[in-house]
Structure 1
């Protein structure tokens, strides 16, 4: 890969395709071909960069031979020259209006050099949620811990 400079998700620009992103695969799922439950049309991934930002990425079936071996959840990859386009999917898993796509001029390389978050979630105290200190459109999950005390008489 000739471009060693890493571009973070917040700095992606649709006007350029000559960039490299370093990302960890957080989750993957498949979209089946219309009318076929056995053939995969597209692989979608949720990616996280070293700042902890998320973006969705897609790879169409025509490019599976080149890229499928790299798609392993929790692996860190360098994506060189992916395409950035409007995310037209009905369900936006990242809250981001854009997504990455791999195409004929893209390349992927596995790397062990990861300095980003180890996990794909961030802890926030409940008071911050109630006082609206959490950024708008940030997905949150609520974890409840209930203590039950049982006394025997």
Structure 2
């Protein structure tokens, strides 16, 4: 990969395609071809960078042979020259207005050099949620402990 400088998700710029990102695949899911439950049209991924930011990424079926062997949940990858575009989906998985796509000029390499968060969630106390100190559009999950009587 020509560009060894890592670009964080917060610094991505749609006017440039010459960047490398280091990200861990947090989750993956498939979109099937219209009218066919046997064929996959696209693989979508949720990626996390070393700052703990998230972005959605996709790979179309035309490029599966090239990239599918690298796309493994919990693996850390270097993505060089992915395409960045506006996320026009109705449901934003990350709250981010942009998403990445792997295309013909992209390249992917596996790396073991991960210094980012170990987990893909952040803890916050319930009082912060109630007092609205959590940033707007931040996904939160609620865990209820069983009540022992």
> One fold, TM greater than 0.5?
yes
Residue in structure 2 matched with residue 150 of structure 1 by the alignment:
146
TM-score by length of 1: 0.93
Cα deviation for residue 17 of structure 1 reads: 0.2
Cα deviation for residue 90 of structure 1 reads: 1.9
Counterpart secondary structure, 2:67: helix
Counterpart secondary structure, 2:104: coil
- Structure 1: runs of 5+ lacking an equivalent: none
Counterpart secondary structure, 2:42: strand
Cα deviation for residue 152 of structure 1 reads: 14
Residues 92 and 150 of structure 1, relative CA distance in 2, 3 Å threshold: closer
Residues of 1 paired with 2:101 and 2:148: CA distance? 61
What is the RMSD of the two structures over their aligned residues, measured on CA atoms?
Answer: 2.6
After TM superposition, where is structure 1 displaced by more than 3 Å over at least 4 residues in a row?
148-153
Cα deviation for residue 149 of structure 1 reads: 13
Residue in structure 2 matched with residue 79 of structure 1 by the alignment:
79
Cα deviation for residue 130 of structure 1 reads: 1.2
1:54-101 superposed Cα distances (whole Å, 9 cap, x missing partner): 000000000000000000000000000000001111211000111000
When Rg is computed on C-alpha atoms for both structures, the one with the higher figure is 1
With 35-44 and 86-95 compared, the bigger mean Cα shift is at 86-95
Residues 151 and 27 of structure 1, relative CA distance in 2, 3 Å threshold: closer
Residues 100 and 149 of structure 1, relative CA distance in 2, 3 Å threshold: closer
Aligned residues: 149
Cα deviation for residue 117 of structure 1 reads: 0.4
- Structure 2: runs of 5+ lacking an equivalent: none
Counterpart secondary structure, 2:129: helix
Kindly report which structure 2 residues correspond to 1:30-109, keeping only aligned pairs within 5 A, or say none. 30-109=30-109
With 87-96 and 32-41 compared, the bigger mean Cα shift is at 87-96
Residues 83 and 131 of structure 1, relative CA distance in 2, 3 Å threshold: same
